[in-house]
Structures are given as structure tokens and as C-alpha cells.
Amino acid sequence: MLERIDRDAIIKRASELMRSGATMLAESCPLCGSPLFKLTSGEVVCPVHGRVMLVKTEEDLSKANVTSVLTELEKSIANRLGDYVSKLKSSKEVEFEDIRNIISWLDALERVEKIRIILSKEKEQEKTKARPTRKT
Ligand SMILES: [Zn+2]
């Protein structure tokens, strides 16, 4: 599922980052596994994907991982649906199988959206939890 990564390009980009004062982190990109770099500005970047959200805890890292996977999944599903749309446009006869596949992909897309909503709700709850409470 992962895209092919040009090793030379990563190494080149990584050395550019190092030269600009970025430091290599122990964490790796949840999408491609490349080591992440922290810029002097404090931003965390992947040499392949560019900016990556800054994660502090193991739990954060796994959530960021899920979010990245969902994003990739969404893109793949959208591509698949696009293929079916052009197939429907170009062919005169509509095959039942295609319709069934489209429905399945739409179902998958809907599930991705639902998971996203659940994740964002969890995030909201954490924010409220993290807010300091005054002891009386
Ligand atoms: Zn990456």
C-alpha cells in the first residue's frame, strides 16, 4: 500500500534538513517510516511527506498513525470510486457488479468518516480533561 520511496531523494532531503539546523528524532513517520526531523522552528517534518504533526506520547503517536492511515484510505477509496465513475460514463451498459462495488466503497468511505468523528470527539474530551480544575 505504501508508495515507492526514492531513497536518494530522502537522503538528500534529510541532509538538507540537517544542514539547516534540524535535528533527527527517534520517532519515525507513521506513513513511510522515515526518521522525523525537528526544525529550528519546532516543527516536525518527514523528509518524504513534509510536515507531520508533533506527537508527544505513545498514545498520540498511535492516534496520529490511525489518522494518517484513514487519510490514505480515503484517498484510495476516492480513486477507486473515480475509476467506477469513468467506467460508468464510458460504457453503455451498467453492470450490477459495478454498482455493488460502488456501494461497498461508499460504505467504506462512510465508515472512515465515522471513525474520524469518533477520533475527533475523543480529542475534544481530552482537551476538557486536560483543563486544570481548581480544588476547593
Ligand atoms: Zn513520511
Please give the DSSP secondary-structure letter assigned to residue 43. -
List the chain domain ranges.
1-54, 55-130
* SS3 (DSSP) at 78: helix
Q: How far is the CA of 60 from the centre of ligand 1 (A)?
A: 16
Q: For residue range 53-102, what is the model confidence (pLDDT) as tens digits?
A: 655 666 676 777 788 888 889 999 999 999 998 988 888 788 888 889 99
**Which helix (H) or strand (E) element contains residue 54?**
none
The whole-number pLDDT of residue 131 equals 63
Q: What is the pLDDT of residues 91-101, one digit of tens each?
A: 878 888 888 99
Expressed in angstroms and rounded, the spacing between residue 77 Cα and the centre of ligand 1 is 20
Q: What percent of the chain has pLDDT over 90?
A: 24
- Could you tell me the three cell numbers for 67? 489518522
Q: Facing residues of 35 across strands? A: 28
How confident is residue 19, by pLDDT bands cut at 50, 70 and 90?
very high
- 80 alpha carbon – ligand 1 mean position (Å): 23
In this predicted structure, the answer to whether residue 24 has a pLDDT above a threshold of 60 is yes
Residues 6+ away with beta carbon under 8 Å from 105: 77, 80, 81, 84
Given the C-alpha cell 480529542, which residue does it identify? 123
